[in-house]
Amino acid sequence: MAAEGKRLPLTFKVMACLAAGILVAWVVTTLLDTYFNMPLLADTKGWLLRAGDWLLLETPMPNWSLMLIIATLIGTLSVAIYYTRSPDGAGGELHEIERKVYKKNNPQFPQLTENQTLLMEVLAYHANYRKIASLDSVCKLVSISTLEVEVGLKQLEAKRLVKRSATRGTFGATTFSLTVAGKDYALERFELT
């Protein structure tokens, strides 16, 4: 079934161009034959007459029917190749649906809760703008409690999507960043600029 908005490739414009092309070819061959003494049109006409005589020969299987069978087979093969190689259309839509069903049934990444997804989005935001993600900066961007943020970050660490880095010294701080798997998850799920 054709999708809505899709047009057939054979339109009035294509048919008009084809007719104009045939007319131009006839005019050119007639002018070449008349003014430049090139018997191209006469040779073509003679060749077409000989081919017509051959098609009308009486044989056990008439030649025209053999040519019709061959033309039908070539046409069927051409249509099959066209629809097999066509990137869009029903085959492309079916492939896209199959891919979505496969991704849903075989997720590449673990399923996250709403809070974990929110934390991943905040960490992706920090990574996208090259900011340091501390517990305070994450808590400022989300509307959940500090305890829930800590629990969510620990769960994301257990799923190996987030890594924690601690610095020592007078101004020691704990920062959070995405792992390679976390970056892949963020690239697939969120729109980053």
- 125-180 residue pLDDT tens: 888 888 888 888 888 888 888 899 999 999 999 988 899 988 777 777 888 988 88
Sheet of 174-178, strand order: 133-134, 174-178, 162-166
Question: pTM of this prediction?
Answer: 0.44
- For residue 40, give every residue at least 6 positions away whose Cβ sits within 8 Å of its Cβ, in sequence order, or none: 29, 32, 33
The residue ranges of the chain whose pLDDT is under 70 are 1-10, 38-42, 86-92, 94-95, 103, 106-109, 191-193
C-alpha to C-alpha distance for 158 and 126, rounded to whole angstroms: 20
Q: Residue 28's Cα: distance from chain center in Å? A: 43
Which residue segments constitute the domains of the chain, with CATH numbers given?
12-104 (no CATH), 114-189 (1.10.10.10)
Residue 41 structure tokens: 């049109």
Residue 75 has a pLDDT of: 92
Residue 1 has a pLDDT of: 44
C-alpha to C-alpha distance for 51 and 43, rounded to whole angstroms: 12
Residue 101 has a pLDDT of: 77
